[in-house]
Amino acid sequence: MKNIIFLLLLTQSGFLFAAEQSVVLSIPGMDCPVCPITIKKSLQKVAGVKSVDVSYESKTAAVTFDDQLSGLPDLLKATENVGYSSNLQDGKK
Ligand SMILES: [Cu+2]
């Protein structure tokens, strides 16, 4: 029984301290105002993604996500899936 309580505490603190991470992706392939919409939709589908802010002008996507649910490779893959290659411009690896 003690073990179960300990486990519960562990998982709950995991939720409380879930690391939220922000990265900025560089997506040079954006070439019209519709691109950011397509990219944003795809990024929002990635597990753990909390906010996506795509800028056509600077050709970047600022993404905030829970790094226990997904990682940078998932984000890069999400833009690639809709036809745009991307790379990390700013943020932790
Ligand atoms: Cu476009």
Q: How many whole angstroms separate alpha carbon 65 and alpha carbon 18?
A: 10
pLDDT for 21 equals: 95
What's the gap in Å between 1 CA and the centre of ligand 1? 57
What's the gap in Å between 82 CA and the centre of ligand 1? 11
Cα-only R_g, the chain: 16
Q: Are 63 and 23 in contact (CB under 8 A)?
A: yes
What's the gap in Å between 4 CA and the centre of ligand 1? 52
Average pLDDT estimate for 46-71: 97
Domains of the chain: 18-90 (3.30.70.100)
Please, which pLDDT band fits residue 14 given cuts at 50, 70 and 90? low
**What percentage of the chain reaches a pLDDT higher than 70?**
78
- The token duo for 87 is 């790379």
pLDDT for 33 equals: 94
Tell which wins on pLDDT, 92 or 36: 36
